[in-house]
Amino acid sequence: MDTKNLRVNGKRLQQTLEEMAKIGATPGGGVQRLTLTDEDKRARDLFIKWLKELNLEVTVDEMGNIFGKRAGRNNDLAPVLSGSHIDSQPKGGRFDGILGVMGPLEVLRTLHENEIETERPVAIVDWTNEEGSRFAPAMVSSGVWAGALERDWAYDRTDINGLRFEDELIRIGYKGDVPAEKWPIHAYYEYHIEQGPILEREKKIIGAPKGILCLHWYDIYLEGEANQVGPTPMEGRHDALCAAAEMILRVNRLPKKMGGNMVATVGEIQNHPNSRNIIPDKVHFTVDIRSWDDDLALRAWDDLRKDFEELAAGRGCPIRIEETWRVEHSPFNEDLVQRVLDTSAELGYSNLRMVSGAGHDASYMNQIAPTAMIFVPSIDGRSHVEVEKTTWEDCEAGANVLLHCMLKSAQEGG
């Protein structure tokens, strides 16, 4: 069959995304589907049901990653893989991650109903815990699968309530028997909303990132001295929250100070005992540094760490710092990036070569296989929030680009 005019069913893709958005739906129109919660389980169950309707070979590995594989003419050849994640941020959006799973699902449905035979197998994946919002760091399971992170270390990650990753994986019934170990991949495509304003600003439909920025995560723990606020003079206090506040402002000023292209953010903070009439004696906050320049990010952290230690000493608040996670910047496979650009042009969609400022499982996949991403616009550049929105027309356009990129890679011989 000539596949030149083959297209996905945009209405079916919309209905699939809307069905998923009901699971963990929030009043503000977003979703809350944190990793290994009951909502995550319900979404996984529905995803597997849809995979089985296509007669795919479905496997769940020991990290809970879900794979569905469609046979090719030569199943000895490495498959073409596409996927993303089902988990969300707290009160997150209904497109982030899930579009990158429902997109390739629609591709597989299109191949199935048109009886398209590919030379290579074609596969889909849902990676566990991409967000890292419940179990830090992010992209844990793709990292384990790629051999970049240790499985048992990942199993011992805990959430804010002290619940272990492995225990929660078992609780929802998604600790599989298949080893979470990489196998040969011919090409990996990840379809995603941009999560930024560039495509909309440039009036482009398809983005083809040349790669992903480096991501560095740090956890900061401060110890102060609790006391009743009224009788305790201002002088001599050891206020952990005041120390943290000064440090957080240093994080915000860091990119300008370093004079390079980077961003730095404090996104999470826990204050103890969190009572209005007790001086805080414990504070935990996070630092996120990102740049295309790995050396710049490391120099920035060295500078920031010195500031933190000086501020902690000045406040009389002992500090403990954990370097939680580092992923180097990831330049994607140039041939696959160009394929995304060429394919979008062939299909009549405007396109843009760009950079991804957000982290994705593609960072780890890029270490073991030729990798590319396909972006579609985020309205007003909003993401990780309930108002996150992408038009259904753009969702369909990106899925069509994914369809033809995957087909081209899947028809390549050994």
Q: pLDDT at position 413, please?
A: 86
Tell which residue, 1, 142, 125, has the closest CA to residue 56: 125
Asked if residues 131 and 85 have their Cβ atoms less than 8 Å apart, the reply is: yes
Question: Tokens at residue 300, please?
Answer: 């920035």
Asked if residues 56 and 126 have their Cβ atoms less than 8 Å apart, the reply is: no
Measured CA distances, 61 to 66, 68, 154, 177, 368 (Å): 7, 12, 14, 6, 18
Strand partners, 322: 219
How far is Cα of residue 12 from the mean position of the Cα atoms in its chain? Answer: 25
Alpha-carbon gap, residue 133 to 149, rounded angstroms: 18
Which three-class secondary structure state does DSSP give residue 314?
Answer: helix
Along the 414 residues of the chain, how does pLDDT read in single tens digits?
789 999 999 999 999 999 999 999 999 999 999 999 999 999 999 999 999 999 999 999 999 999 999 999 999 999 999 999 999 999 999 999 999 999 999 999 999 999 999 999 999 999 999 999 999 999 999 999 999 999 999 999 999 999 999 999 999 999 999 999 999 999 999 999 999 999 999 999 999 999 999 999 999 999 999 999 999 999 999 999 999 999 999 999 999 999 988 999 999 999 999 999 999 999 999 999 999 999 999 999 999 999 999 999 999 999 999 999 998 998 999 999 999 999 999 999 999 999 888 889 999 999 999 999 999 999 999 998 999 999 999 999 999 999 999 999 999 987
Question: Tokens at residue 354, please?
Answer: 């760009």
Query: Same CATH fold, 214-327 and 10-212+329-410?
Result: no
* Phi, psi torsion values for 25, nearest 5 degrees: -60, 140
Which three-class secondary structure state does DSSP give residue 77?
Answer: coil
Residues near 41 by beta carbon (within 8 Å), at least 6 away in sequence: 172, 173, 174
Angle subtended by helix axes 10-21 and 38-53, to nearest 10: 150
Alpha-carbon gap, residue 230 to 228, rounded angstroms: 6
* Phi, psi torsion values for 400, nearest 5 degrees: -65, -40
Q: pLDDT at position 145, please?
A: 98
Q: pLDDT at position 357, please?
A: 80
Tell which residue, 304, 309, 244, has the closest CA to residue 271: 244
Angle subtended by helix axes 99-113 and 38-53, to nearest 10: 20
Q: pLDDT at position 289, please?
A: 97
Domain layout of the chain by residue ranges: 10-212+329-410, 214-327
Alpha-carbon gap, residue 110 to 123, rounded angstroms: 14
Alpha-carbon gap, residue 60 to 58, rounded angstroms: 7
Question: Tokens at residue 11, please?
Answer: 């209405």
Asked if residues 399 and 191 have their Cβ atoms less than 8 Å apart, the reply is: yes
Alpha-carbon gap, residue 388 to 384, rounded angstroms: 7
Tell which residue, 123, 94, 90, has the closest CA to residue 19: 94
Measured CA distances, 334 to 6, 73, 81, 341 (Å): 25, 27, 17, 11
Residues near 43 by beta carbon (within 8 Å), at least 6 away in sequence: 20, 23, 24, 33, 86
Q: pLDDT at position 264, please?
A: 98
Strand partners, 58: 68
Alpha-carbon gap, residue 14 to 384, rounded angstroms: 20
Q: pLDDT at position 40, please?
A: 98
Alpha-carbon gap, residue 53 to 197, rounded angstroms: 37
Alpha-carbon gap, residue 183 to 365, rounded angstroms: 11
Q: pLDDT at position 80, please?
A: 98
Q: Specify the residue for token string 């496997």.
A: 59
Pairing of strands 187-193, 330-331: unpaired
Q: Is 57 exposed, middle or buried (0-12, 13-18, 19+ CB in 10 A)?
A: middle
CATH number belonging to domain 10-212+329-410: 3.40.630.10
Q: Which CATH code of 3.60.21.10, 3.30.70.360, 3.40.50.300, 1.10.260.40 fits the domain covering 214-327?
A: 3.30.70.360
Q: pLDDT at position 358, please?
A: 83
Question: Tokens at residue 62, please?
Answer: 């020991």
Radius of gyration of the chain from Cα atoms? 23
pLDDT in tens, 83-113: 999 999 999 999 999 999 999 999 999 999 9
pLDDT in tens, 273-289: 999 999 999 999 999 99
pTM: 0.88
